[in-house]
């Protein structure tokens, strides 16, 4: 692995990012920009964002095995690597049974997809998978450069590091909302992806493994669960909570910005992280 991913990654969906905003994310100090929500197999947007920046790594979080043909993805990887060597990381995921009617045998399907990528010449150390449970984490360890999970707490990061060991990437994503009022922050969090995702089977199962209960998962989530999944407060508080993943063994902390202006949230978080010791989470005076 020769990519410089940086301490922070920015997670944005296609409608939230442009070449201009990617350059802004780069100027804010992010090492990686992750394209979320099943980008298409041609990876054209990833290439546009690389064209608009100079050092930023672009990753996918994640291409979906049900919607992105492996051979097309592999051809896209080689095209991008040829133009921007060392600046692209391919994140792959199995999707959700609630979305894909063909969803079946997720582990075997993902293994077969990785086999197809390998046959097409995509190096294993340029792939990460969205692994949550122990079996998928072991697959990430054995077949790829690591894991890029979301909807997780620092406790999951500790467990993932224990499974993957040293030398593999653990790249958790965490929701971030700059909102000092806790009640308002929780309401915003529950009305967005953090609340909606609780109805997704694999996320819910993973949260139960982490000790959350059916009461926590009911509706759009308890205060305890919302606070675990969404770092909210003033920028310094958000930064400290995000960096708990670093202390738990993460190589990078991915920031999923919530609120009306995701780029402004990303800027505020990056500025605050710059004033907090990334190893201790203590504000630097």
Domains, in order of start, for the chain: 8-184+230-273 (3.20.20.30)
Left (φ > 0), alpha (ψ -120 to 50) or beta: where does 105 sit?
left
CA nearest to 12, candidates 177, 258, 273: 258
Query: What is the distance between the alpha carbons of residues 11 and 238, in angstroms, rounded to a whole number?
Result: 16
Measured between alpha carbons, how far is 43 from 68 in angstroms, rounded to an integer?
A: 10
Which tokens in the block code for residue 140? 């990430």
Each residue's pLDDT expressed in tens, for the chain with a length of 285 residues: 678 999 999 999 999 999 999 999 999 999 999 999 889 999 999 999 999 999 999 999 999 999 999 999 999 999 999 999 999 999 999 976 656 667 789 999 999 999 999 999 999 999 999 999 999 999 999 999 999 999 999 999 999 999 999 999 999 999 999 999 999 999 999 998 888 888 898 999 999 999 999 999 999 999 999 999 999 999 999 999 999 999 999 999 999 999 999 999 999 999 999 876 666 665 553
Kindly give, in sequence order, each residue whose CB lies less than 8 Å from that of residue 102, ignoring residues fewer than 6 positions away. 66
- pLDDT of res. 197: 84
> What is the Cα–Cα distance from 117 to 130, expressed in whole angstroms?
16
- Alpha-carbon dihedral angle through residues 208, 96, 140, 151, given to the nearest 10 degrees: -50
- CA dist 191 and 149 (Å) reads 21
Which two three-digit tokens encode residue 282?
Answer: 């203590």
CA–CA separation, 26 and 174 (whole Å): 19
Instruction: Report residue 250 as tokens.
Output: 């993460």
* Residue 129 · residue 136 · CB < 8 Å: yes
| Joined tokens for residue 170 | 């653990």
Residue with token string 């209960």: 213
213's CB contacts (< 8 A; 6+ apart) are: none
């Amino acid at each position: 692995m020769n990519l410089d991913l940086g301490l922070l990654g920015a997670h944005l969906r296609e409608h939230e990012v442009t070449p201009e905003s990617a350059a802004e994310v780069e100027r804010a100090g992010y090492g990686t920009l992750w394209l979320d929500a099943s980008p298409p197999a041609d990876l054209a947007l990833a290439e546009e964002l690389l064209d608009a920046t100079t050092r930023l790594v672009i990753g996918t979080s994640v291409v979906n095995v049900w919607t992105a043909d492996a051979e097309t993805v592999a051809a896209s990887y080689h095209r991008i690597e040829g133009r921007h060597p060392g600046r692209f990381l391919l994140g792959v995921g199995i999707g959700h049974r609630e979305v894909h009617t063909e969803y079946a045998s997720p582990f075997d399907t993902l293994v077969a997809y990785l086999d197809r990528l390998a046959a097409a010449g995509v190096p294993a150390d340029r792939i990460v998978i969205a692994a949550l449970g122990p079996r998928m984490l072991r697959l990430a360890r054995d077949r790829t450069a690591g894991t890029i999970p979301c909807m997780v707490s620092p406790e999951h990061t500790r467990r993932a590091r224990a499974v993957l060991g040293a030398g593999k990437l653990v790249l958790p994503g965490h929701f971030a909302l700059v909102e000092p009022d806790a009640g308002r922050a929780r309401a915003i969090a529950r009305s967005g992806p953090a609340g909606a995702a609780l109805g997704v089977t694999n996320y819910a199962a993973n949260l139960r493994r982490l000790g959350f209960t059916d009461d926590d998962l009911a509706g759009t989530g308890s205060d305890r669960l919302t606070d675990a999944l969404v770092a909210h407060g003033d920028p310094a508080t958000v930064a400290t909570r995000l960096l708990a993943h670093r202390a738990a063994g993460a190589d990078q902390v991915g920031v999923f910005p919530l609120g009306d202006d995701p780029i402004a949230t990303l800027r505020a978080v990056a500025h605050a992280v710059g004033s907090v010791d990334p190893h201790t989470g203590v504000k630097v005076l």
